């Protein structure tokens, strides 16, 4: 599968110049929804190849129109039983201040709702010196923050402590904790109604499990872990350690209210801070 590179002259005329990027047909069916974008002195090709969105980051020589890949990976590994990728069909725009804003379609919902998806949280898209993409919620989302609840400084030792009880399904949560020596640590969203399912976001010292979806996360003992989570009724979006990992999960959240808890399994962990905001509607 190839992505051609063409340049436009005047009017509707195009001149073929080069192949920007290729992959074997047996490996990739189709590089759908390509975005080729610049971030600082680095360039990134995003594609939606009928599986989770993939990135190829590298260098682009504008004189020879040659793209040299340096790093490849999955941008957002979220999926469920109804879609091989919950975060799909990316597009980008540039804000007046030069920021690159990443948009995408969240999909993977059962039919009969009258809609088939929604737009993901707009993400500030950057690329680090090691060619690793970084995705963070845009700062403008802070304007939607409503009622606030906070918890500070709690020690866990192979137990679970309740941090919060909420009835709203539209929330922003930010939690910072030290996984310590616990085999697993993280957040649990316990449904208060017997008809709802509970959710869990846990870290096993190597991998984040976001409601069962694995996302590798580099971590060293003593390092703090910060998770930002956006919940909005039909799904969640998670950003870990400044956007080095992002995971989208299309899943029905408890409608009968939920208890939010911090957990530590087989060891000690320490909660530094938990902040939760109810989110206002955008209109």
Q: What is the CATH number of the domain that holds 194?
A: 2.60.120.560
Q: Are residues 98 and 223 in the same domain?
A: no
pLDDT at residue number 256: 78
Q: Which residues make beta-bridge pairs with 6?
A: 16
pLDDT at residue number 254: 78
pLDDT at residue number 3: 61
Q: Are residues 209 and 172 in the same domain?
A: yes
- Residue 14 resides in a domain: yes
- Residue 214 resides in a domain: yes
pLDDT at residue number 197: 84
| Last residue of one domain, picked from the residues 139, 170, 202 | 139
Report the distance separating Cα 199 and Cα 238, nearest Å: 13
- Residue 260 resides in a domain: yes
Q: Are residues 181 and 222 in the same domain?
A: yes
Q: Are residues 166 and 254 in the same domain?
A: yes
- Tell me the mean pLDDT per 10 residues along the chain, length 283: 59 80 89 94 96 97 93 96 94 96 95 90 97 97 97 97 92 97 96 86 96 94 96 92 96 85 98 97 85
CATH number for the domain harbouring residue 79: 2.115.10.20
- Residue 283 resides in a domain: no
- Residue 196 resides in a domain: yes
Q: Are residues 10 and 27 in the same domain?
A: yes
Q: Please give the angle made by the CA atoms of 121, 190 and 167, to the nearest 5 degrees.
A: 65
pLDDT at residue number 10: 63
- Residue 20 resides in a domain: yes
Based on the structure, what is the number of domains in the chain?
2
Q: Are residues 70 and 182 in the same domain?
A: no
Q: Give the global pTM.
A: 0.92
pLDDT at residue number 18: 83
- Residue 159 resides in a domain: yes
For the record, the structure tokens of 19 come out as 């192949």
pLDDT at residue number 168: 85
Q: Are residues 175 and 129 in the same domain?
A: no
pLDDT at residue number 32: 93
Q: Which domain holds residue 19?
A: 2-139
Radius of gyration of the chain (CA): 20
Q: How many residues does the chain have?
A: 283
Looking up tokens 């866990």, which residue turns up? 156
Report the distance separating Cα 78 and Cα 61, nearest Å: 33
Report the distance separating Cα 153 and Cα 163, nearest Å: 11
pLDDT at residue number 113: 86
Q: Are residues 253 and 272 in the same domain?
A: yes
Q: Are residues 121 and 14 in the same domain?
A: yes
Q: Are residues 30 and 121 in the same domain?
A: yes
Instruction: Express the helix, strand and coil content of the chain in percent, nearest 5 each.
Output: 0, 60, 40
Q: Are residues 182 and 229 in the same domain?
A: yes
pLDDT at residue number 123: 98
- Residue 133 resides in a domain: yes
pLDDT at residue number 266: 98
Q: Are residues 187 and 107 in the same domain?
A: no
pLDDT at residue number 233: 82
| Last residue of one domain, picked from the residues 121, 139, 157 | 139
| Last residue of one domain, picked from the residues 139, 171, 190 | 139
């Amino acid at each position: 599968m190839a992505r051609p590179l063409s340049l436009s002259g005047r009017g509707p005329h195009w001149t073929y110049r080069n192949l920007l990027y290729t992959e074997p047909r047996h490996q990739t069916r189709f590089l759908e929804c390509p975005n080729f974008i610049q971030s600082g002195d680095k360039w990134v090709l995003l594609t939606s190849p009928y599986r989770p969105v993939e990135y190829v980051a590298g260098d682009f020589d504008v004189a020879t129109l040659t793209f040299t890949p340096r790093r490849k990976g999955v941008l957002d590994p979220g999926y469920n039983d109804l879609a091989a990728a919950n975060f799909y069909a990316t597009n980008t725009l540039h804000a007046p201040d030069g920021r690159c804003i990443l948009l995408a379609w969240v999909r993977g919902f059962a039919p009969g709702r009258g809609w088939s998806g929604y737009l993901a949280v707009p993400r500030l898209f950057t690329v680090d010196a090691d060619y690793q993409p970084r995705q963070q919620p845009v700062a403008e989302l802070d304007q939607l923050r409503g009622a606030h609840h906070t918890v500070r400084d709690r020690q866990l030792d192979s137990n679970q402590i309740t941090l919060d009880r909420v009835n709203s399904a539209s929330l922003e949560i930010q939690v910072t904790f030290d996984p310590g020596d616990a085999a697993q640590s993280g957040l649990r969203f316990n449904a208060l109604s017997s008809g709802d399912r509970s959710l869990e976001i846990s870290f096993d010292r190597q991998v984040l499990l976001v409601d069962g979806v694995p996302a590798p996360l580099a971590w060293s003992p003593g390092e703090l872990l910060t998770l930002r989570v956006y919940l909005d009724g039909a799904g969640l979006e998670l950003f870990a350690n400044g956007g080095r990992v992002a995971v989208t999960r299309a899943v029905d959240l408890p409608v009968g209210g939920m208890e939010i808890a911090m957990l530590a399994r087989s060891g000690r962990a320490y909660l530094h801070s938990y902040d939760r905001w109810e989110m206002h509607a955008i209109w």
